[in-house]
Amino acid sequence: MKNNLNNKMETATVKATRRTLPGLAGAMGLLLASGALAQGTAYVSSEKDDALTMIDLATLSVKGTVPTCKRGRHLQLTPDRKLMLACSDSGVADLIDPATNKSLRRIPLGDDPEAFDIAPDGKTLYVSSEDDAAAVFIDAETGKKLKEVKVGQEPEGVKVSADGKVLYVTSEVASMVHAIDTATGKVIKNIKVGKRPRRMAITPDGKELWVTCELDSGVTIVSTADYSVLATLKFEVKGARATDITPVGIQLSRDGKRAFVALGRANHVAFVDVPARKVSALVLVGKRAWNVALDKDEKRLFVVNGLSDDLTVVDVPGTKAIKTVPVGRVPYGVVVVE
């Protein structure tokens, strides 16, 4: 009887194990597929909380905050992998070490800075000064103003070329992008684009400048060779009026084949086939999708939603939202550090 009972128990155990192992394997597969085992942190700036929210990439949950200056907005990595945050109400950039999450120093940027970019060598900051209708060149080490270049009213987006020779600045009121020679501080060309240009991305081959136009429901594509407009891509979202499709944040994949564009009040992010200049997918996210960032493997896209006070994590291969993470009030920018 004991042997028969033991045999039955062993058989039942084997069957249970066979049922359990595929389940475990499936669960692990889902974790791996979603990138949930990734190491690193997504940092999200907040206009209302004077802090960065830290999201753990392994758990996709908030793991803490980093106190910073007032009304943090544009956020990006420096060439030496430090975090730099423009704080509009403080008039400074906060330089933060992600290894310790401590502020290293604060650099004066002038009144009401919003967007900036950094020279490839890390020595110069290029800042849009809305009040002065100017692009300001600042020494990153000393905070000294080096140059001021007059541009159109309400300058916003700032982008420097990979070789550091040309600076592009958007003017919201003039609906222009100003191409500026960084060596001389002279405007090379005023480029007419769509209404209310906001942010920009340069293709990896350096040949095209993609400009989001918030009040034109689209992107203007500019040649960096002669500054001519090559094409205009218009976005459409089923059930949304054109006036609610307000693109702002944009990021290109490393190979330059795809662009990811936050569509503002349309509450979607667009996946764009860059060579074809066509939208390949739309993903529903939170309210007023504002800025975007890819992780290192480009398998997850992090979308900041300014009116729902959260961040949407999008599975890029699956073109679907996989998680919503509450963050600070009126989140603005996001940077992924791995």
Number of domains in the chain: 1
Q: Render pLDDT for 153-163 as a digit per residue (tens, 0 to 9).
A: 999 999 999 99
- The C-alpha atoms of residue 7 and residue 12 are separated, in whole angstroms, by 9
Q: Which domain holds residue 204?
A: 2-337
pTM equals 0.88
The continuous run of DSSP H or E covering 170 comes out as strand 166-171
Q: What's the CA gap between 218 and 207, in Å, rounded?
A: 19
Helix then strand count (H, E) for the chain reads: 1, 28
> What contacts 9, CB < 8 A, 6 or more positions away?
none
Instruction: Please give the pLDDT value at position 114.
Output: 84
Of the candidate ranges 19-33, 117-131, 151-165, 279-293, the one whose mean pLDDT is the lowest: 19-33
- 235-287 pLDDT per residue, tens: 999 999 999 999 999 999 999 999 999 999 999 999 999 999 999 999 999 99
Summarised one tens digit per residue, pLDDT across range 68-122 is: 999 999 999 999 999 999 999 999 999 999 999 999 999 999 988 989 999 999 9
Radius of gyration of the chain (CA): 23
Q: Is the CB of residue 117 less than 8 Å from the CB of residue 136?
A: no
CATH of the domain at 124: 2.130.10.10
> Poorest-confidence range of 28-32, 108-112, 179-183, 290-294?
28-32
Q: How far is CA 284 from the centre of its chain?
A: 17
Mean pLDDT of 147-173: 97
Bridge-based pairing of strands 208-213 and 250-252 is unpaired
